[in-house]
Structure formats: structure tokens, C-alpha cells
Structure 1
Amino acid sequence: MEIDAQDFIQVLSDKIKLYEHLGITVAELNSHRVVFNVSLEKNLNHKGTAFGGSLYATGVLSAYALVLAGLKAYHIDTENIVIAKGVIEYHRPIDSDFTIVCEFLDLQTEQAFYQELQDQHRVRADLNVQIFKEGGSGGRSLGASLVGSFVVRM
């Protein structure tokens, strides 16, 4: 189920002040998959590549967006979403705009996540994020990956 990207952007702008500085555009946003396109220019480090903290922050925001979209799709009235632990691996420097992808492995995993939240009023699960460097000829390569352990409470 799709949620309105503009409504989501407003939530981020209002509640996560860092969002407006990261150069994110929302390419896809639903309860199963989130794709962000991110401007390198807004996230440069002293080497002319993406700042590691920006990669982490945009990755965490994509997972937050995935959960928020799911809460709306499953009609669960909470925004109590926190990251309990995040581990990022930097595979190669990112020297171009980049794409963030966060998605549930499959529909069954997604449904189990929200069912546990409804049954237990709490769920903790790892969400996987991939950060792709945009390459020439439309190609892209994995620049970083993040595993975030998120806790949601009702």
C-alpha cells in the first residue's frame, strides 16, 4: 500500500530536523520498500566522497520510513519507532549521488513484523539497508550496507 510521499516528507521535516539537510528525494515509499535518491553534494566529506555519517543517517532514515509507511498501511496508531543498534559496513567510497534501498525480505516477513506489534504491543527486528553508488552507463555498485535493529512500541 502506498502512502503519500508528501505527507511523509512533512513528517520527516517536522520531527527529524536533519532530514532537510541531507538532499534526499523519495523515489518509492510503501509498506514493503523504500527507495531514496540522495545528493552527494549535500553529503561531501573532505575527500570528495560521501561522509560516513551521512550514509549512516540516510540509511537509518530509510528504515524509519519503511516502518512508518507500514504503520500507516496496517492502520497502527503509533510513531514510537527507535533504532536500538545500527551496524554499517563501508564497502567502497561513494563519489556520486547515491541510492538507498530498505525493504522487507518478503510479504510474510513484513506481515509478521506488524502482527507481532499488534499482538505484543512491541516488536524488535533487524532491517537491512543497501546504499548504492550510481555509476556510469546506468550501473550501480554497493557502496555500503547497514543493519539496523529497530524497536516499535504501541
Structure 2
Amino acid sequence: MSGYRRDIGEAHPRLPLSESGGEDAPDVFLDWLAEAIPMVRSLGIQQMQRDGDQLIWQLALTPNLNDKGTGFGGALTAQTTLLGWCWTTLWLRRRGILRDVVVATATQRFRAPVTDDYRMICMPAEANASERLAEQLDQKGRGRISLVQQLWCGDTLCLEASGDYVVLAQ
């Protein structure tokens, strides 16, 4: 997909589901994501991994600095929103579902400055949220899930965010 150019309003081609039917290799998904959403190349994502129901990113602070030498709130907000979108998209892909996902609501609470490389964690807001999303998709063909994101700089919780992500009907 490298070098692919598209016009405003033109959707980027979806990443085909894994032939093995398993999870996407993180580097393959992140490469596709950087093509689909060009600003991803500038976000400093160093690693992506899944741990149970959590999606975790390791990020570099340098590309996200503000004028004070700490994390730029706008970049951090974009990252929390995108991490939730990725959580939902990857959850669908593990189930063999290719569907569009959009963010419906997003909120952030900044608790401390980000002063070094950091990690972001995304997880469902409630223990049974994944099951409810699966039921909604089965019954209505669309669904919504509430996710929370946390940004940790070492042992310090710097940012808490939440968002509702909608899986659109086909």
C-alpha cells in the first residue's frame, strides 16, 4: 500500500482479514494504520500489544512535545481516541468481522504532565462490555461499546480518557 494516494472523501482500502483467521500481527496492523491515517506516522507509537482485554501502546514523547517540553494535550487526546478505535477494530477483526467503527463521544482528564516516554492502555469500561457488543451486533447488526484509556508515565497516571465507539451496520 506504500505510495497509495487518495482524495479527500475517498475511503482507504480495508486491511484484509488474516488468512489464518487469527489475530493481526501488530506490525502489519500498524503499517496499514499509518497508510490509512497519515498522522499515525507522527504519533511516536513504538509498540502495540494485547494483554487479555487490554490494548497497550508504548509511545515516544519526543514527537508529541508541546511548547513547555511536556506532552501536547492535542496529540495525547488524538492518541486516546485512536487507541479506542483500534481496540474496537481489532476486537472485530479477531471475530472475522470487517466493519466501520466511529467514535461517538470522547472525554479526557489530564492529571499530571507527561515528561517521558509513556504507555497507553485501553480496555472496556465494564467487565461484560465485549459480550454486550457481540449481542448488539447479532441482534441489531450494529453496536456501541464504552472504553477507557489511561496514559502512564512510569508509575504516574497522567491522563484518563473515555469514549463510546460505534460499530456501524453493513
Give the TM-score taking structure 1 as reference length: 0.87
Gaps of 5+ in 1: 135-139
Which protein shows a greater Rg? 2
Gaps of 5+ in 2: 1-21
**Amino acid paired to 1:113:** L
Task: Kindly provide the amino acid, as one letter, of the partner of residue 142 in structure 2.
Answer: R
Letter in 2 for 1:13: A
One of 50, 59, 71 as aligned partner of 2:92:
71
Matches within 5 A, 1:1-150: 2-29=23-50, 32-78=53-99, 80-104=100-124, 108-134=128-154, 140-150=155-165
- Looking at structure 1, the residues matched to 112 and 32 of structure 2 have their Cα atoms a distance apart, in angstroms, of 32
How many residues end up aligned between the 2 structures? 148
Aligned-residue Cα RMSD (Å) equals 1.8
User: TM-score scaled to structure 2, two decimals?
Assistant: 0.79
Q: What amino acid is aligned across from residue 93 of structure 1 in structure 2?
A: P
Once the two structures are superposed, residues 44-81 of structure 1 have per-residue CA deviations (whole angstroms, 9 ceiling, x without a partner) of: 00011000011111111111111111111111121x11
Q: Using CA pairs below 8 Å that are at least 6 residues apart, which structure has the higher relative contact order?
A: 1
Runs of 4+ in 1 over 6 A off after TM superposition: none
Identity of counterpart residues, as a percentage?
A: 24
